Every structure is written in structure tokens, then in C-alpha cells.
């Protein structure tokens, strides 16, 4: 789970501010680059705004095979005097609150970067026990390389708030948590208090991102999961989204967007993803549809969730078999490449933008197409079939 720094602490975390960088942003909305063994390049430019500037490429190895990662990077519009052709993702003037950012290698961070690249102002909520380390890393520049945006500037986080989304209001916090040394020095970190602090500091937001999940018994099979472990997984991973939207919706501008992150285990069997987490993700997707109706009718807010493929993040490593899941995806997904956090971030930027103004209540799969597969094609059963494979 994540939260953020104290509501009174503004983060001076950049040497190049977004407001300054907006004056010189690229006249293109996306950056696509591929690198091959022969280092041959083909630049593609069209009305779809694919740019050849600042190539971004990484090669990942899985066993004896080499997979290439092609990343499309979101970028905001140049300026009013130099309008973009085509359909740019332009979030200038929008403000986003991303709940669940505690380091620089998860989906929450990637979503923040893509929203910032499109021009949005970024506020984050960081889990209270991780707050000091996160703020310290920002101040000391440990995340500077990860903060680089497509135009070369650094992502600015306007403010970091402490947050523990398991608790809706101060009355819900048990005494042992209040007195826990990991919470010492932080205040106003329940969902209700954070929403009130954001309202006091900024008045309103346009985008709400839920990047939170926790299952204390995730390594246990469902049959061995305790009631407390099961309910804890649902509380932290799905009801927290309901609570966030409940308290933030009143300060969200009409036309705003809310996004959460889910996983294919909500609808398919993923052995090892236990402790009630698969149930929590199923609940999150069901809630997304109901909240899309309720928040849409009452607040004119869109609600969607992204079903993201496996990522080698610090949080995912806690499950214990993330490397196997990534290898499985590489071998069986229609697109044989490792999923990048940026690709999920860019999908979130689209869902937060006016380009998706008619999309709500949807589960959007960003997993190289793995969700579409009915069988694992790496099975020996299919060895005699002529199935195309990456070399």
C-alpha cells in the first residue's frame, strides 16, 4: 500500500519544473524506439504522432532467449502557439492524486510519470511506514534518473501526503497502530483526512489513481487462508478503492477520471497468488462497474481499471514467483516481449484524458495479450504445431 509525505511538507524534488518544461515540450505525443542487434533504425512519423526523438530501449534475457522491449512514451503538447497534429494526450491544467507510490519502480510511479509527461500536476500518497525513506530518496536525488520525462526535464511531485488506505477515518485506527513507532511523526493519514488535506491545499483534483494492494497471507493457498488474512486482503486491495473514491469524488471536477490496477487472477486460476488476493481483484473489478454507474451519475466521473501483466517490482517480488510469471508471459503471450511499467502508465494517461471520455466501467488489459490465451503454447503438447516464436 502506499501513502505520502506529511500534508505540510511540499517536495522540492526537481531541478527542472514541469511548468518550465511545458514551454519546450516536443511537438509529438509519443516516442517509439526499437533497437536490434544490427543497430538498424527506421524512424516512423505520421499523423499518429510517433516520434523518433530520445530512443528508449532495453533488452531482457529469459534463459537463453533475448527479448526486446519497445516502449511508447507519452508526452504533452508543446504550447498553444504550436498546436499538436492528430490526437495528443494533453492533461495540462489537470491535477492527479496517485495513492500507493513508495518507490520508483512500480506501476504507481510509472503512471505518475506518464501523467506528468502529459502535463498533469502530480500529488502522491505514500504508505506511512515507507514515507521517510521515500521522501529522503526524493530529496537526495536517488530517483532523479527515474524522474526523467521525454522532454528531458524531471517529473515534479508537487506534494507528498502520508496515507494508510486501510483506515477511513481517525476513529478506525486501533491504538496499537497509533502508538506504533513507524507512524510516529505523521498525522492526518487516514483516507478522509488526506482528502480533506488535498481539498484545503489545492481545492480539487481531476484524476484519482489507486495503486494499492496488500495480502498478508498471499503466499498461502486459499484453502489455508485465515478469515483475518482474507478480509485484510479485501480491505487493503479493493475496499480501499471504494473508500478513496467516496472521499475524493466530492472534490473531483466533473469529467474527472479514476483508475485502479487489477490482475488476471481475478478471473483465471494463478496458483501461488493466494491469501484472498484473487478474490480481492475480482471484487475490485466488480466494484469498478458499480462505481462507474454511481460516480458517473452523481459526480460525472469515469471509473476504470487496468489489468496489468506481471512486473518485476519490489512489491511483486514479495509473492515469490514473479520471475516465473514473467517467463510464462514471454513464452505464451501474443506479443513476446517483457511488459514495461511505462506501457501501463501510458494506458493510464489515455484513460485519464478526454480521448477516453466515453470509456467507463471497463477492465482494460495491458499485458501483451496474455489474457486472450486459452492454453500455454509452451506446453510439450503443442511441440509439433508450427507456432511462430521469437528467435
Q: How far is Cα 134 from Cα 13, in angstroms, rounded to an integer? A: 11
What CA–CA distance (Å, rounded) separates 239 from 233?
A: 9
CB 265 within 8 A of CB 277: yes
Q: Given strand 157-163, what is the order of strands in its sheet?
A: 157-163, 121-127, 95-99, 205-210, 252-262, 302-308, 363-366
CB 319 within 8 A of CB 272: yes
Residue 66 among the catalytic residues: no
50 in Cβ contact with 30 (< 8 Å): yes
Phi, psi of 374 (to 5 degrees): -100, -20
DSSP 8-state secondary structure symbol assigned to residue 10: B
Q: Within the chain, where are the H helices?
A: 18-21, 107-117, 131-139, 175-178, 191-202, 227-234, 240-248, 277-299, 314-317, 322-332, 341-352
- Angstrom distance (rounded) from CA 72 to CA 284: 28
Contact residues for 279 (Cβ-Cβ < 8 A; gap 6+) = 222, 230, 233, 234
For the chain, the 3-state helix, strand and coil shares in percent, each to the nearest 5, are: 35, 20, 45
Q: Which of 33, 153, 238, 278 is catalytic?
A: 238
Contact 45, 4 (CB under 8 A): no
Our answer to whether residue 114 is catalytic in this structure is no
309-316: Cβ within 8 A, 24+ apart:
309/264, 309/333, 309/339, 309/366, 309/367, 309/368, 309/370, 310/339, 311/106, 311/107, 311/339, 311/341, 311/344, 313/105, 313/106, 313/107, 313/341, 314/103, 314/105, 314/106, 315/106, 315/213
Catalytic residue among 211, 281, 307, 340: 281
User: Do 296 and 258 meet the contact criterion of CB atoms below 8 Å apart?
Assistant: no
Catalytic residues: 238, 281
Amino acid at each position: 500500500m502506499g501513502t505520502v509525505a506529511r500534508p505540510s511538507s511540499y517536495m522540492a524534488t526537481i531541478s527542472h519544473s514541469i511548468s518550465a518544461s511545458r514551454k519546450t515540450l516536443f511537438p509529438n505525443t509519443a516516442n517509439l524506439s526499437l533497437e536490434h542487434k544490427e543497430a538498424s533504425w527506421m524512424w516512423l512519423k505520421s499523423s499518429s504522432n510517433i516520434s523518433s526523438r530520445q530512443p528508449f530501449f532495453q533488452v531482457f534475457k529469459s534463459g537463453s532467449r533475448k527479448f526486446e522491449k519497445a516502449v511508447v512514451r507519452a508526452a504533452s503538447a508543446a504550447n498553444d502557439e504550436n498546436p499538436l497534429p492528430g490526437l495528443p494526450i494533453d492533461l495540462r491544467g489537470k491535477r492527479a492524486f496517485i495513492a500507493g507510490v513508495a518507490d520508483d519502480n512500480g506501476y504507481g510511479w510509472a503512471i505518475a510519470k506518464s501523467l506528468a509527461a502529459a502535463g498533469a500536476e502530480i500529488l502522491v500518497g505514500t504508505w506511512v511506514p515507507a514515507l521517510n525513506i521515500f521522501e529522503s530518496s526524493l530529496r537526495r536525488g536517488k530517483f532523479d534518473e527515474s524522474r526523467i520525462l521525454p522532454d528531458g526535464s524531471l517529473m515534479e511531485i508537487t506534494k507528498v501526503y502520508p496515507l494508510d488506505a486501510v483506515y477511513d477515518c481517525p476513529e478506525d485506527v486501533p491504538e496499537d497502530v497509533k502508538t506504533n513507532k513507524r507512524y510516529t511523526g505523521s498525522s492526518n493519514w487516514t483516507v478522509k483526512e488526506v482528502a480533506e488535506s488535498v481539498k484545503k491545499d489545492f481545492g480539487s483534483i481531476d484524476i484519482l489513481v489507486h495503486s494499492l494492494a496488500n495480502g498478508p497471507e498471499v503466499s498461502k493457498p486459499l484453502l489455508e487462508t485465515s478469515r483475518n488474512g482474507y478480509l485484510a486482503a479485501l480491505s487493503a486491495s479493493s475496499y480501499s478503492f471504494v473508500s478513496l473514491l467516496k472521499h475524493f469524488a466530492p472534490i473531483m471536477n466533473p469529467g474527472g477520471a479514476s483508475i485502479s490496477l487489477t490482475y488476471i487472477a481475478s478471473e483465471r486460476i494463478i496458483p501461488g497468488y493466494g491469501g484472498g488476493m484473487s478474490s480481492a481483484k475480482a471484487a475490485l473489478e466488480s466494484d469498478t462497474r458499480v462505481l462507474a454507474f454511481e460516480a458517473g451519475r452523481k459526480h460525472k466521473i469515469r471509473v476504470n481499471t487496468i489489468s496489468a501483466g506481471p512486473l518485476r517490482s519490489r512489491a511483486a517480488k514479495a509473492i515469490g514467483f514473479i520471475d516465473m510469471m514473467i517467463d510464462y508471459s514471454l513464452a505464451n503471450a501474443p506479443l513476446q516481449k517483457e511488459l514495461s511499467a511505462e506501457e501501463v502508465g501510458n494506458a493510464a494517461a489515455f484513460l485519464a484524458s478526454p480521448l477516453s471520455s466515453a470509456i467507463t466501467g471497463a477492465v482494460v488489459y495491458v499485458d501483451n495479450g496474455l489474457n486472450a490465451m486459452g492454453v500455454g503454447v509452451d506446453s510439450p503438447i503443442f511441440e509439433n504445431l508450427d507456432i511462430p516464436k521469437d528467435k
